[in-house]
Structures are given as structure tokens and as C-alpha cells.
A and B are shown apart, each in its own frame.
Chain A
Amino acid sequence: MRWWRRQYYFLGYALSSLWRRRGQALTVLVVHVLLVGILASVVLFTRALKRESDLLFEGENSCYVQHMQGGRQLYVPAQWLQEVSSIRGVSALEGRLWGYYFDPLTQANYTLMATDGDDLRAGEVVLGAGVQRVALLRPGDSISFRAYNGMDHVFEVRRVLEPEVDLVAADMVLMREDSLRALYGLPPGVYSDLVVTIPNPAESVTIARKIQERLPGARPMLQEDLQRSYRAMLDWRGGLSLFILSAAVLSFLILAWDRAGTVHLKERQEIATLKSLGWSVDDLMRWKQWECFVLAGLAYVLGLALAIIHIGWFDGSLLRPVLRGWSVIYPAYQPALVPAWPELLLIGALAVIPYLLASLVPIWRLALLDPGETLR
């Protein structure tokens, strides 16, 4: 009971002393809030994308097969389909036909893909919402692509995909298989890559090895490996951002050390007076501890709120330019907030503990001195 009362009075004194130095406290608070806000935004945004890729591509156990020669991807020859489908354990096999197209008008890269869905007629395309945004086209308008032989092929826009599927298809142009073959100049039976469905996940590595053995130049990639790549990629991205931001952490520490290290004359006087009034070193430290806890705790909570608003309401708009680089087409995407508590608590520890040390050490050194000496 006595202990609680003492803490209560120390907290009260800490609050009033913070209020007396409100200008200084506010500066530290604002910097602290921004720091926590940026770090937590990176964590929340990265985790949202990670979850998205996990949920989107989980499910069927498949294997993508590419044809490589000299470090370059070639089209998959027709006889590969028979060869792969004869492997035991393969339940379905499909050739994907797709490629890229640089549109000189919009300066954007599109991904062109053949589909047998959407009831497309010859000469019709379905556009991703990102393509629609840069090319300013509506259903019924026409869009032209230059074919491999220099001929212009004109297509009618059948419909535009909903912006909500942007995250996987912002830059897509879907058309019939014969249209795409005519555009790229590809003979029938040739594909960009193969998608092999393997019902038993335990067999996938064996089957991938068999594909490699039977078809030299084949590059099989398992779905689970692709997902692992994504996780690694987003970890790297988050880690890289945090590494760059560690400069901000360091400069904050310098600020905190500087602020606290050069204890103001008024504060020196206050410490000396309190000490001569009978406060022990322990009391002085308790008072300063409370000050730091209040400031850092408030900064952490407000910083977290800032990150939630940034990611939840503004869709991480400050982080997006880093990810999209020079891309002309990029997805409209509302990230879902993920409860990334371990990382968020780590940020809290990083924001509070060094600040606590940087503030308490100089006060402690001062508190050890004789009050008369402190004043002088």
C-alpha cells in the first residue's frame, strides 16, 4: 500500500515536471511518435502483403515448368506436354500462354495472357484496371498491339477487371489463345510454361526431379518454393526498410542523449534542491523513470495509432513508391491489418529501452553528486 502511494506521488510529480518543461517534452514526443509510426508502418505493410501472398497462392499443389537455355527463358515445345503427362503422379497438366508487351504510348509494361474464360470472341480483350487507368479506355473502346511482324492488331475492350483484383492482375490483358499466338507469332502447341498439378504433396520433389532428368533444360519450380520465395522477398524488403530506418533510430538516440545529457540549468537546480530537501538518489531516479515511461509509452501508443491510420486508412501510401520504383502500372490495394504483435512489441522495446537509458544515466550521475556541487 505504501509502495503504491509512493509511486502515485512520483507519477504525479513526474507529470507536473513534464508539464513545466512542455516544450522540450513535446519535441521528444513528436520525434518519438514519428519514429514508432514509421517502423510500425513498415511492419504492418510487409505483414499484410505476406499474408496476402500466403492466402492467394495456397491450395493446389502445383509445379511450374519453364524451358531455359543460356540463362534465358524459351517457349516450351509441344512434345514436352506428352513427356510430362506420362510421369506417374501428375494429375493434370496445362500449358500457359503469356508474355509481356511494352506499350510505347503509355510507356507501360503489360502482361498479355491467353484465357479460354470470359467467353471472349476473336478480337476482344479484358483489361486489368491498371491498364485501364493508364490507357484511359472504357469497354467498347479499341486498343491496338503491334505484332511480332510489325502489323497492328486492333482489339475491342470487352470489359475491365474490378480494381479489387489489382494485386494480381493490374497489368493484365486477357485475350483468346489464337489472338495471342497471332500477336507473338507462335505456332500451335507451343507454350510459355507448363503448370503441373500434383495431388500428393509428398511426391512433388520426386516429380520435379523426374522432369529435370527427362527434359534437359527444364526448370521445374514447386508452388511451395514460390511461396517461400515470396516470404523471403518480403522479409528482405521489410528488413531493408528497417535497416535504412535504423539511421532514424540512431539520430533519435542522439537527440535523446543530447536532450537528456546536457541537463538544463533549471533541472540541475531542481535536482539539487530536491536532494537537499532529503530526496534520495533512488527517489530521484524513480521520478525520472516515471517521466520516461509516460513519455515513451505515450509515444509508442500514438505511433502505433499513426501506423494503423497510415496502413488502414491511407493504404500505406508513403511506402508504396519504394515498392513500385519506376513502374507505370501499380495495383490499387487496401492492405488488411495483421496482428503482428511480436514485431510491434519489439519496436516498442527498441523505442523505450534506449531512450530510458539515454535519459536516466546523466540524471543518475548528477544525482550522485553533492547538491552544492551540482548547483555550481
Chain B
Amino acid sequence: MGRTAKFLALAILALLLLAVVPAALAVLTSVESPGREARRELAARLQLSDLCLNTEARYLRHASLSDWQSPFQEGPGFPDLYPGGTVIPVPPADRIGFAASAAPEVE
């Protein structure tokens, strides 16, 4: 009898745990990051284009405005030496503003 009770208690605990964590995530996801409105307002006022994730180098600070040349501007064969360049890659080249051939056709 004691064993059954123990087992039932464990099973109920496990079920609770299984239910509680996803439920907690569901509730917590409804909480917005504080200050988003202030950020939006500032980004619109100054017409900002980028998140300030990394301030090591120009092309990492404004990564989306960057191109495939800017990380290698210091000289021919000069590598991209900032660690942030590993996790913040260059923007995709198929967008307009890269080589003219890469831009979508317009009739």
C-alpha cells in the first residue's frame, strides 16, 4: 500500500512537472520585452536600420547596411579579424543594391 501511494505521488508530481513548465512558458511568452515602444519610437524618429548587438566594427554595428566588401577594407587579403564576424555574417547577396545582375528584373 505504501508503495502504491508513493508511486501515485511520484506520478502526480511528474504529470504536474510536465504540465507546469510548458504552461509557464506559455504564460511568460505573453510578457513583452520592456521598453519596446520606446525603442520603436526612437528607431522611427532617427530612422535607424540596425540593432546595436555589437560595436566592434562598422560593418558589425550596422550589419544590415553592410556589404561583402566592408569586412575586408583594411587591405588586400586582409582577414575579417573581429570575433563578432563569426556570428554576424554578411547580408544575403541576392538583394537589390548588390551587383546589378543580382537585382530582381523590372519590366
Contacts and interface: CB of A to CB of B under 8 A. Distances in A.
Interface of A: 11-12, 15, 48-49, 52-53, 55-57, 59-60, 62, 64, 66, 68, 71-73, 94, 96, 100, 108-109, 111, 113, 115, 117, 128, 130, 161-172, 174, 193, 195, 205-206, 208-209, 212, 219-222, 225-230, 232-233, 236-237, 240-241, 294, 297-298, 301-302, 304-305, 308, 312, 322-331, 333-339
B31 A337 contact: yes
A162 B36 CA distance: 12
Given A49-B51, A193-B65, A208-B96, 8 more contacts: A12-B7, A52-B51, A56-B36, A170-B55, A212-B97, A220-B96, A230-B64, A298-B14
Contact of B29 (A100, A232, A337): A337
B47 A323 contact: no
A326 B56 contact: yes
B45 A327 contact: no
A326 B82 contact: yes
B1 interface: no
Contacts of A329: 52, 55
Interface in B1-35: 3, 7, 10-11, 14, 17-18, 21-22, 24-26, 28-29, 31-35
Interface residues of B, number: 66
B52 to A, nearest CB: 5
21 contacts: A52-B51, A56-B39, A73-B70, A111-B52, A169-B52, A205-B103, A205-B104, A209-B96, A221-B97, A225-B96, A226-B91, A229-B63, A229-B91, A232-B91, A236-B87, A308-B28, A325-B83, A326-B84, A329-B52, A331-B53, A334-B33
| Nearest 10 interchain pairs by C-beta | A164-B35, A325-B84, A71-B69, A229-B91, A325-B83, A336-B33, A225-B95, A226-B64, A229-B64, A327-B55
A323 B92 contact: no
Contacts of B32: 336
Given A226-B65, A229-B63, A326-B82, A62 B47 contact: yes
A226 B91 CA distance: 8
Contacts of B82: 325-326
Interface of B: 3, 7, 10-11, 14, 17-18, 21-22, 24-26, 28-29, 31-36, 38-40, 42-58, 60-61, 63-65, 67, 69-70, 73, 82-89, 91-92, 95-97, 100, 103-104, 106
B56 A229 contact: no
A220 B50 CA distance: 16
Given A165-B38, A240-B87, A212 B54 contact: no
Contact of B55 (A165, A322, A330, A336): A330
Contact of B97 (A73, A219, A240, A330): A219
Given A206-B106, A229-B91, A304-B21, A168 B52 contact: yes
Contact of A167 (B45, B51, B87): B51
Contacts of B21: 301-302, 304-305, 308
B22 to A, nearest CB: 8
A339 to B, nearest CB: 4
Nearest to A327: B55
A331 B47 CA distance: 19
A113 B48 CA distance: 10
A171 B52 CA distance: 7
